[in-house]
Each structure stands twice: as C-alpha cells, then as structure tokens.
C-alpha cells in the first residue's frame, strides 16, 4: 500500500459519510481525492460502466440536497462553486467502484471505506440495542428510577458543541484607564 493511502484512516472516512435522502453515502469529490484521481476521471469511469451503478448504488444530488449539504459543512472543501452537482455513492456503489478503478491505491482505499461503513453500522446497532434495553427496563420499574433513565438517555445523546466566545479577556488586575485623580497638596 502506498504511503498516501495509508494516511486515510477509518475515522477520516467516517467524517466523509453523509446521510442524504435516507442513505449513508460518500460524495464523488471526496472519493476521487482519496483514490488520488480527479473527480472528472472518477465520474468518466463510472459513466463508462453505468450498468454497474443502479440508482440504489449511486445518484446525483439534487439542487436542494446540494444546497443543504453545503450549508452543513462550515469550512468549504468544494474548491469554490462547482458547475456540476456531485454524485453520491452508497456502500454498494463504493464497493462497485473497486471493479471500475483498479489501481492498488483504489483497492486499499476501498478496504478502508468498507471498514468505516461496517464500523458505523456496528455503532448504530449497539446504540439501538442499548436504547431497546433501556426502554424495557424503564417499563419494568416504576417512577423511582425515572431520573436515572433520563440521565442515561442524556448521556447517550450526542453532546452539543460549545459555542466559542467572541472577544477577549482582560487579564490585568484592576486596571485603571482614563484621567487620574489630582494629588492632594
């Protein structure tokens, strides 16, 4: 595996998996970057093999989906305005890319992407199992444990990111500014 492909971690890939139209997908521009090819090259390869990519494997974002996605990403990685809306690849679509892009790097990147999708699925499953068990325990026991169950649910929910304060703190103790009082004679 080449050095750059090795730098692509499962955690990095997980950050590039988006939920669009009820599907967990990766975008063509991110995939092309990971594979080390231009986005247009990836899209051309897909279009030459379009029969391998039915709608449940790949779809192009609508104007509304693209607009919503761009508004969710604070720091733009789009490289300015794009003329064409990106394609979204489901897990099966990404797997199919390995038959279209045949470089060693593409194979290694695909392995890491598949691991990221599996890990994401496991995390969601574990979360659902825990929530199911919590619900059954809550039904079993009366109100005396309601506070405990509410606290556990609060811990299970994703934490809110703290808002950054704007401005600066003055660290001088009792600083005096302005005119000084006149000295007594």
pLDDT value at position 2? 45
Element housing 58 (H / E): strand 58-60
CA distance 179 to 164: 34
CA distance 139 to 182: 75
Task: Tell me the DSSP string of 141-180.
Answer: S-GGGHHHHHHHHHHHSPPPPPPPPPS----STT---SPP
Please, which pLDDT band fits residue 81 given cuts at 50, 70 and 90? very low
pLDDT 10s digits, 150-159: 777 777 776 6
From residue 89, how far is each of 46, 55, 173 by CA, in Å? 11, 9, 58
Residue 88, pLDDT > 60, answer: yes
Please, which pLDDT band fits residue 5 given cuts at 50, 70 and 90? very low
**What single DSSP character describes residue 24?**
E
pLDDT value at position 1? 42
| Percent of the chain predicted with pLDDT > 90 | 12
Provide the token pair at 145.
């444990």
CA distance 3 to 119: 23
Largest Cα–Cα distance in the chain?
98
85 and 60 Cβ atoms separated by less than 8 Å: yes
């Amino acid at each position: 595996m080449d050095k750059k492909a090795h730098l692509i971690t499962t955690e990095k890939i997980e950050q590039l998996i988006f939920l669009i139209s009820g599907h967990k997908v990766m975008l063509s521009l991110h995939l092309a970057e990971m594979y080390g090819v231009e986005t247009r090259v990836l899209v051309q390869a897909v279009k030459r093999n379009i029969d391998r990519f039915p709608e449940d494997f790949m779809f192009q974002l609508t104007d509304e989906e693209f607009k919503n996605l761009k508004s969710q990403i604070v720091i733009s990685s789009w490289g300015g305005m794009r003329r064409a809306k990106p394609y979204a690849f489901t897990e099966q679509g990404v797997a199919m890319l390995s038959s279209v892009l045949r470089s060693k790097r593409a194979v290694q990147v695909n392995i890491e992407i598949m691991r990221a999708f599996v890990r994401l699925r496991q995390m969601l499953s574990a979360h659902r199992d825990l929530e199911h068990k919590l619900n059954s325990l809550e039904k079993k026991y009366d109100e005396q444990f309601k506070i405990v169950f509410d606290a556990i649910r609060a811990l299970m929910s994703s934490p809110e990111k703290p808002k950054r304060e704007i401005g600066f703190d003055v660290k001088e103790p009792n600083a005096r500014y302005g005119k000084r009082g006149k000295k007594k004679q």
